[in-house]
């Protein structure tokens, strides 16, 4: 066996084979895949082989489309058939909410370029003749659905990779991965050791065990899943004869079923609400091309629904039951990318829809290995979206919850209950007693709004405005008219120290670094000049800085920071996570409130906009920045976590006769809309450049060189392609959620990134990207919300305080 390779891919399921193929496509030939048994001998061989482009994240949906279009290519290169049947499919719905959901999915497909159609049930029956029309109210036709042969497909990837120079070694288990001093890897196998530059963990059912070789506990869990294949169904035979074609794929959302034709019968799969993990702690190495014993009792409720919705199934005999495990991450999306702190160690696992996603995962990961960047926006599947808080028990609870909700709607204002509360601050119990309604981000409980006295913090889940709408409105108005306090512990915060701190930060970030005692806003770019972060930097001292950014991106940003630290030890970066907690006070009376807490001069002259001071607030030492995401006069107050309760006590006490109110995350999101301020993972993502995102003024081309400068300069010279535009939307009772299409003169030209109701100014607002050529046009825009188009008016300046007098005054 060879002893050297540039990349060793561990695992020959559909995902590992795709990664291998894509590496060869990028011209890397010195690559090898090591498989424990035969190719496909994890979850791949017994898959139903179905594929589609449906995903909650449009960027993942695009990669799914890429995957489906790839099958012809690998067939051609390998000469191996994938058995692809691109039949198209129908998605059936039985209730109004799901119908609304379908309208939104269809609308999104408009800008994704997938020509779906909303059709009546009668029409759907022409594609899936087994349905009982009475059970449904509508359907969507989807052209990019179908199925393939899982084994043929995996072999096609592997063979295409071999044709292009790769090697596949079978019957050889990897037993360890050991990193050498120089950062390269010894991949220890049953047949010897391969020394490699890069290791890819594509271990599928055993990815967790492979990760444990390097002390990594990946947040994935395998669930046992069943589908059955029926005997011949006369209705299917009749349909084939009559139409000369095969039945289309069918997803019955309310039945929680996926179905398709299999020979002259049907394949019926289901996700039951009480799903069961397979090998919750450790997957056995001797499990191979085996199945679990059939257990139809466990899915009997779902099958009953199947028989009710599709009566011909009730009469059909069952030929075969497939019961096998496959893996999920807590949110159901893959885990892809480099692992923070493990140089050249990559994962491509937790892929629950290998035949929809495998190609896209292989493409993104191979780009990342070769170029240092995935080349797409893969935030939704980046392994860094989870931190160490996502341990095995957390993962189990969330995966079981997610599995049972596979075909259920998650509403935009819905907060799912599993594994909560997990991370809480010292204010959690008090906020709970005050009637807070909590959401969770990055495992941390955060107050979203506060129920008025005597009311319960309960929210009706909906795509439209909920019962919390007037409450959030009151919070917004109270901030703008007086003063409010919000906990901001959920922001990510980092301390950067050392003699090289300033020059390092200035190399990483696009703006000039602030003077001592000041703050600066600054994007962070990747090598291509695209946005990978958006921070506030505080210079506390010559060799001590703090940066504040998006909470859920902490691991993502730490991975980037650590990968770029100088080797000479001149800079140290530390995530402050829970070491530092925060409260923000905002509104016209916030300065008066702050002044009551300290002897320091906090007047506008002494502490102007963007000032940063370390000062005592009564008995509590604090760091105070004069900035607020509300866009109002405001201050961010950072204290050590053990001082948080005392700081809160003082603020409440001092604010009592100023009419201080508590406001939550939803009010903050509403207030920032009035300033047209974007947020990470919504407006700011790696598919946009800073100019496109309206952050051009925070990029200084006059300072030192910085990462992404060339790309940003090119963008500036050529003007980029897109522009972020703020629209007011002429609606009465509904607001955008995000991902709606933007129409311009009857064509879909862009998409909404976020929005909602801006309560203080009383306008429905949407932020979205459109081509730069039309971005200056004031007329002709519409935004489609739940199937209806509304006039949308571009706003050229913030709706609230356009000159920034409030925040600067
Ligand atoms: C019943 C069922 C139905 C499904 N239906 C569909 C469907 O219709 N459509 C769809 O897209 N997906 C479906 N799936 C999911 C699909 O099977 C997975 O998404 C896919 O198999 C994931 O592939 P993988 O390569 O990540 O993992 P795996 O297939 O598990 O592959 C991992 C490979 O790594 C090897 N390996 C692990 N550890 C080592 C080691 N230490 N050394 C060497 N080799 C190692 C294993 O032997 C294995 O071959 C279904 C799954 C099940 C169980």
DSSP 648-668: HHHHHHHHGGGT-EE--HHHH
Closest atom of ligand 1 to 225 CA is: 1
Cα(560)–Cα(556) distance, rounded to whole angstroms?
Answer: 7
Span from the CA of 349 to the centroid of ligand 1 (angstroms): 9
Interacting residues of 462 by C-beta distance below 8 A, sequence separation 6+: 411, 413
Span from the CA of 356 to the centroid of ligand 1 (angstroms): 13
Name the pLDDT band for 799 (thresholds 50, 70, 90).
very high
Cα(653)–Cα(191) distance, rounded to whole angstroms?
Answer: 70
Secondary structure, 3-state, 384-449? HHCCCCCCHHHHHHHHHHHHHCCCCCCCCCCCCCCCCCCECCCCHHHHHHCCEEEEEECCEEEEEE
Both tokens assigned to 299 = 């899915």
333-358 mean pLDDT: 97
pLDDT tens sequence across 762-773: 999 999 999 999
Measured by CA distance, the residue closest to atom 48 of ligand 1 is 42
Ligand 1 mutation pick, 43, 71, 149, 258, max ligand atoms within 8 A of CB: 43
Measured by CA distance, the residue closest to atom 26 of ligand 1 is 204
Instruction: Please answer whether residues 464 and 734 qualify as being in contact, where contact means their C-beta atoms are separated by less than 8 angstroms.
Output: yes
Instruction: Please answer whether residues 749 and 789 qualify as being in contact, where contact means their C-beta atoms are separated by less than 8 angstroms.
Output: no
Span from the CA of 100 to the centroid of ligand 1 (angstroms): 34
Q: For 213-293, where are the alpha helices, taking DSSP H only?
A: 234-243
- On the question of pLDDT at 31 being above 90, the answer is yes
pLDDT of residue 349: 98
16-21 mean pLDDT: 98
Closest atom of ligand 1 to 354 CA is: 19
Span from the CA of 47 to the centroid of ligand 1 (angstroms): 8
CA distances from 545 to 57, 640, 698 (A): 35, 16, 18
207-227 mean pLDDT: 98
Q: For 419-548, where are the alpha helices, taking DSSP H only?
A: 428-433, 469-481, 501-508
- The alpha carbon of 683 is separated from its chain's Cα centroid by a whole number of angstroms, namely 13
Q: Specify the DSSP class assigned to residue 684.
A: B
293-315 mean pLDDT: 97
Measured by CA distance, the residue closest to atom 27 of ligand 1 is 204
Measured by CA distance, the residue closest to atom 35 of ligand 1 is 11
pLDDT of residue 802: 97
Ligand 1 mutation pick, 1, 42, 170, 257, max ligand atoms within 8 A of CB: 42
Measured by CA distance, the residue closest to atom 51 of ligand 1 is 47
Between helix 58-78 and helix 96-112 the angle, nearest 10°, is 60
Closest atom of ligand 1 to 154 CA is: 25
Instruction: Identify any residues that bridge with 223 across adjacent strands, giving them in sequence order.
Output: 277, 326
Span from the CA of 295 to the centroid of ligand 1 (angstroms): 21
Name the pLDDT band for 150 (thresholds 50, 70, 90).
very high
- On the question of pLDDT at 697 being above 90, the answer is yes
Span from the CA of 210 to the centroid of ligand 1 (angstroms): 14
Q: Write out residues with Cβ below 6 Å of ligand 1.
A: 10-16, 34-37, 41-44, 46-51, 173-174, 202-206, 210, 225, 227, 322, 324-326, 349, 351-356
- On the question of pLDDT at 183 being above 90, the answer is yes
Q: Please tell me the pTM assigned to this model.
A: 0.97
Phi-psi label, residue 738: left if phi above 0, alpha if psi -120 to 50, beta otherwise: left
Cα(196)–Cα(32) distance, rounded to whole angstroms?
Answer: 10
- On the question of pLDDT at 55 being above 90, the answer is no
pLDDT of residue 289: 84
- Kindly report the average pLDDT of the chain as a whole number: 97
Instruction: Please answer whether residues 105 and 89 qualify as being in contact, where contact means their C-beta atoms are separated by less than 8 angstroms.
Output: no
Span from the CA of 205 to the centroid of ligand 1 (angstroms): 6
Q: For 487-543, where are the alpha helices, taking DSSP H only?
A: 501-508
Cα(372)–Cα(701) distance, rounded to whole angstroms?
Answer: 24
- The alpha carbon of 166 is separated from its chain's Cα centroid by a whole number of angstroms, namely 32
Both tokens assigned to 732 = 């009465």
Q: Which residue has the tokens 């198209």?
A: 88
Ligand 1 mutation pick, 68, 354, 403, max ligand atoms within 8 A of CB: 354
- On the question of pLDDT at 493 being above 90, the answer is yes
β 318-328/747-758 pair status: unpaired
Span from the CA of 296 to the centroid of ligand 1 (angstroms): 23
Measured by CA distance, the residue closest to atom 18 of ligand 1 is 354
Question: Residue 92's closest CA among 132, 57, 51?
Answer: 132
Name the pLDDT band for 512 (thresholds 50, 70, 90).
very high
Name the pLDDT band for 54 (thresholds 50, 70, 90).
confident
3-state helix, strand, coil in the chain (%, to 5): 30, 30, 40
Q: For 268-389, where are the alpha helices, taking DSSP H only?
A: 300-309, 311-315, 354-371
Cα(549)–Cα(551) distance, rounded to whole angstroms?
Answer: 6
Name the pLDDT band for 56 (thresholds 50, 70, 90).
confident
Write the burial class of residue 484 (CB in 10 Å: 0-12 exposed, 13-18 middle, 19+ buried). buried
Task: Give phi and psi for 180, each to the nearest 5.
Answer: -85, 170
Interacting residues of 294 by C-beta distance below 8 A, sequence separation 6+: 226, 321, 323
Question: Residue 610's closest CA among 626, 597, 586, 624?
Answer: 626
Span from the CA of 249 to the centroid of ligand 1 (angstroms): 22
- On the question of pLDDT at 391 being above 90, the answer is yes
Instruction: Identify any residues that bridge with 325 across adjacent strands, giving them in sequence order.
Output: 224
């Amino acid at each position: 066996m060879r002893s050297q390779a540039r990349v060793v891919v561990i695992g020959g399921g559909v995902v590992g084979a795709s990664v291998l193929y894509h590496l060869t496509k990028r011209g890397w030939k010195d690559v090898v895949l090591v498989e424990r048994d035969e190719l496909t001998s994890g979850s791949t061989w017994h898959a139903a082989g179905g594929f589609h482009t449906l995903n909650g994240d449009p960027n993942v949906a695009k990669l799914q489309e890429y995957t489906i279009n790839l099958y012809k290519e690998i067939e051609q290169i390998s000469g191996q058939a994938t058995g692809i049947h691109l039949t198209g499919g129908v998605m059936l719905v039985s209730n109004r909410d799901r119908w609304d959901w379908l309208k939104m999915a269809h609308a999104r497909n408009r800008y994704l370029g997938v020509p779906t159609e909303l059709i009546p049930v009668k029409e759907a029956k022409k594609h899936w003749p087994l349905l009982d029309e009475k059970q449904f109210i509508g359907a969507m036709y989807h052209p990019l659905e179908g199925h393939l042969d899982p084994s043929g497909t995996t072999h096609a990837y592997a063979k295409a990779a071999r044709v292009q120079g790769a090697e596949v070694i079978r019957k050889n288990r990897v037993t360890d991965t050991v990193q050498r001093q120089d950062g390269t890897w010894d991949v220890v196998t049953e047949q010897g050791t391969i020394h490699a530059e890069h290791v890819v963990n594509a271990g599928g059912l055993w990815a967790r065990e492979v990760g444990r070789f390097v002390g990594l506990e990946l947040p994935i869990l395998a669930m046992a899943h069943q589908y059955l294949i029926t005997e011949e169904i006369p209705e299917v035979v009749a349909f084939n004869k009559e139409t000369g074609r095969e039945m289309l794929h069918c997803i019955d959302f309310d039945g929680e079923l996926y179905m398709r034709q299999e020979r002259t019968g049907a394949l019926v799969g289901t996700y039951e609400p009480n799903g069961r993990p397979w090998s919750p702690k450790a997957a056995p190495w001797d499990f191979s091309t085996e199945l679990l014993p059939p257990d139809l009792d466990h899915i009997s409720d779902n099958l009953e629904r199947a028989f009710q919705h599709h009566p011909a199934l009730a009469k059909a005999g069952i030929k075969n039951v497939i019961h096998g495990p496959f893996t999920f991450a807590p949110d159901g999306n893959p885990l892809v990318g480099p692992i923070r702190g493990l140089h050249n160690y990559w994962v491509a696992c937790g892929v629950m829809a290998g035949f929809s996603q495998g190609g896209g995962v292989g493409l993104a990961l191979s780009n990342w290995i070769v170029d240092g960047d995935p080349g797409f926006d893969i935030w939704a599947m980046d392994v860094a979206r989870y931190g160490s808080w996502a341990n095995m028990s957390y993962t189990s609870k969330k995966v079981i919850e997610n599995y049972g909700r596979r075909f259920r709607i998650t509403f935009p204002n819905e907060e799912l209950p599993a594994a909560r509360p997990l991370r809480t601050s010292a204010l959690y119990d008090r906020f709970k007693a005050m009637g807070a309604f909590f959401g969770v981000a990055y495992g941390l409980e955060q107050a979203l709004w506060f129920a008025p006295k005597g009311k319960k913090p309960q929210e009706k889940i909906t795509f439209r405005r909920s019962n919390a709408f007037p409450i959030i409105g009151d919070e917004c108005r109270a901030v703008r008219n007086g003063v409010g306090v919000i906990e901001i512990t959920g922001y990510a915060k980092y301390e950067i120290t050392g003699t090289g701190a300033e020059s390092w930060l200035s190399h990483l970030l696009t703006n000039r670094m602030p003077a001592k005692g000041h703050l600066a806003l600054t994007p962070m770019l990747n090598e291509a000049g695209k946005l990978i972060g958006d921070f506030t930097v505080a210079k506390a001292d010559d060799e001590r800085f703090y940066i504040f950014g998006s909470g859920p991106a902490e691991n993502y940003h730490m991975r980037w920071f650590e990968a770029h630290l100088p080797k000479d030890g001149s800079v140290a970066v530390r995530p402050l996570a829970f070491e530092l907690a925060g409260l923000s006070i905002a509104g016209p009376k916030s300065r008066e409130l702050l002044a009551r807490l300290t002897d320091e001069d906090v007047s506008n002259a002494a502490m102007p906009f963007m000032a940063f001071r370390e000062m005592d607030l009564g008995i509590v030492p604090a760091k105070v920045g004069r900035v607020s995401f509300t866009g109002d006069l405001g201050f961010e107050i950072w204290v050590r976590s053990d001082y948080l309760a005392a700081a809160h006590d003082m603020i409440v006490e001092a604010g009592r006769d100023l009419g201080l109110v508590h406001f939550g995350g939803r009010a903050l999101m509403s207030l920032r809309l009035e300033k047209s301020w974007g947020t990470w993972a919504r407006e700011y993502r790696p598919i946009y450049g800073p100019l496109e995102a309206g952050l051009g003024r925070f990029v200084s081309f006059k300072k030192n060189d910085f990462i992404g400068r060339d790309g940003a300069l090119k963008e500036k010279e050529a003007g980029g392609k897109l522009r972020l535009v703020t629209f007011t939307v002429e609606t009465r009772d509904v607001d955008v959620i995000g991902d709606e299409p933007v129409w311009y003169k009857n064509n879909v030209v862009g998409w909404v990134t976020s929005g909602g109701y801006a309560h203080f100014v009383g306008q429905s607002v949407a932020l979205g990207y459109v081509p730069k050529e039309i971005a200056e046009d004031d007329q002709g825009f519409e935004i489609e919300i739940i199937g209806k188009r509304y006039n949308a008016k571009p706003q050229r300046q913030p709706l609230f305080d356009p000159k920034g007098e409030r925040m600067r005054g």
